Every structure is written in C-alpha cells, then in structure tokens.
Amino acid sequence: MAMYVLGAGSLGCLWAAHLAKSAACHPTLLLRAGSAKLRHLKDGRVRLRVIRAERVLEVEVGAEEVNRSPATSDIHQLLLVTKAPAAREALLQVAPRLAAGAVVIILCNGALALHEEISEMPASQRWHLMCGLTTHGAWSKADFEVVHAGAGDTIFGQYGAVRMSEETYESTLAQLLAAGLGGRHEAHIERSLWLKLAANAAINPLTALLEKNNGCILEEEQISRCKEICKEVAAVAAASWHQQGFASLCPSAAEMEDFALDTARRTSPNRSSMLQDVLAERPTEIDYLNGWLVTKARTFGLEVAENAQLTALIKEKERRFLEPKA
C-alpha cells in the first residue's frame, strides 16, 4: 500500500525513512508546489539520511510535488506532518488527489486545534481522520538529512465524527507501527492529545523564550511555571470534556505536569520545535498551542493568564523577525 507523507521537514523525513525501511508500505514524500527541495529529486526519488547517535540510516523514497497529478484521486493514505500553520494550505493543495474515504493521519503539534480547523474544511467530510502524537525529537541538518535527537513514543487513535471500518483502521495502524518509531493504538486518543498539548504549551514557548534546550524545564523556576501552565490547560480540558459529556477520562493538572516534565526529561538535549523555528526566524506554532488554549478558554469564560502571557511574548518575538524592517 502507498503511504503519502505530506511535509518534508524533520518529522516527515524521519517517518518516510522509517516507513521505507520497514517495507510495510511504500512512502512518497509530497513537497509543496514550487519548493526549492524539488531540485534534489532524481527520477521521482530522493535519498534520505537519518542520523541517530552513531548510526546512520540511508534510504531512497518516492518524492513529488503535491499537485503533480491533480486530476486523479490516487491517494488513500496520507500522513500529515507539516508545521501546524501550513497544514490547511497543504491539505487544500492535495485535496483533489485524496480519494473518497481516504485516511488522513494528523501527526502535527497542536493536533487538537488542527483537527478542529480541518473538520471545518468541506472536503474533510469525505476523509477519515486519525490523530497521532509523537514525542520523538528531530531536527533538519540539511534538506532530507535529519538528526533523530530524542527517541520518544508515538500513539495513534481514531478521532472525529466520521469513523472508518475496523479493517481500514487496523491495516493503516499496522503500517505505521511497522515503522519502528514506537507506537500503539490508544482508544481514548483525546486524552493523550490533551497531555501532549500540555507538554508543548509548557516546553515549547519557555524553551523558545529562554533559548535553551528542553532540559531547562527541569530547573526549579521553570517547574513552577510548568505547573501553572498545566493547571490552566487542565481547566480548559475539563470544561471542554464536560461539554462533551465524558469528563471522567479527562487528564488532571497533575497528570499533565507529570507528562510535561517526563517529556522534558526524555528529550532534555533537544531543541524544541519552537526554539528551532525562532532561531531560523520562521513562524511558530503558538496559535495552535497556547494561542488556541486562550481562545478556547474564552469560550468557557475561563482565564488562562500564564498561557496568554506566553502567547503574547512569543508573538512579540516573532514580530521582530517576521515584520518587514522599516
């Protein structure tokens, strides 16, 4: 079965390389129309290099421009690994190629916010959405060359109103798990997505503001900020779950804090993706993490002062490099 990977950044290359190695499916990387990375393609293929400590994995995978054959509905499985702010536009480009009933696996940071955004796209009514979360840390050394800096885990689950058949779900999951990047099915994926959101809401903006690796979250001052952030995330999660009527599965503030600190511990030498974005002067994912929480909190009449302040500070930092200089 062909698995298309939308997004050729660090996570996209990491997944494409491991999927190719597993031979459980044939991955094809989809590149943005007009991407400068297209120049590396030879006969519709590209060589990926993944560096993990002393070991180097080198494999060839298929690669093509996202809208190469716009008139055909040839894509049945799509792993979405773009940056959250780029996901909607990328999906719009690929939409004509997605077959009815195609499985779209959202494996981006900010998956809760992104799932909400994608569900509002009319075309998404024809797709089956799966969500995943991964705590692997990776960064791009060069085009198609990735350093797999922190081994993490990956969890997948069905999420959304349109459910796929058990058979489709099981076969998609088997291919993803064969990649060997950890992974298991989670019946209550929403619970894990909130835990991951708490980890990203704490680690990403704090490391980006301090310009330090993930391990800095384990310093005393940052632990107490992490606690406050998680308390606010848990309050928004509780309000959201209460509205949906199954509040008993909602993770507590203490569980969120444990998860965030454990993630910081396991990925301590890593640069968070937000720190990488800031250093490369790229737009960050803040609107899909703390920014989304602030908006959500408002709809429930809740105050999330710590998350609001972090959102404002990251936006201020972004403005300094994104706005044209006078």
Residues with a known catalytic role: 196
Contact residues: ligand KPL, CB under 6 A: 109, 135, 137, 199-200, 203-204, 214, 263, 267, 270, 272-273
Q: How far is the CB of 113 from ligand KPL (least distance, A)?
A: 14
Q: Which residues contact 281 (CB under 8 A, 6 or more apart)?
A: 321, 322
Q: What does each C-alpha distance from 32 to 18, 68, 76, 89 come to in angstroms?
A: 21, 10, 19, 10
How many CA atoms lie less than 13 Å away from 216 in the CB half-sphere? 17
Q: Which residues contact 71 (CB under 8 A, 6 or more apart)?
A: 96
Closer to ligand KPL by Cβ: residue 200 or 240: 200
Closer to ligand KPL by Cβ: residue 18 or 97: 18
Q: How far is the CB of 81 from ligand KPL (least distance, A)?
A: 12
Closer to ligand KPL by Cβ: residue 124 or 134: 134
Give kind and range of the element (H or E) at residue 174: helix 166-178
Residue that has been written with the tokens 């509205």 in this structure? 243
Closer to ligand KPL by Cβ: residue 19 or 198: 198
How many CA atoms lie less than 13 Å away from 240 in the CB half-sphere? 23
User: What residue number has its CB nearest to ligand KPL?
Assistant: 273
Q: How far is the CB of 137 from ligand KPL (least distance, A)?
A: 4
Q: How far is the CB of 298 from ligand KPL (least distance, A)?
A: 24
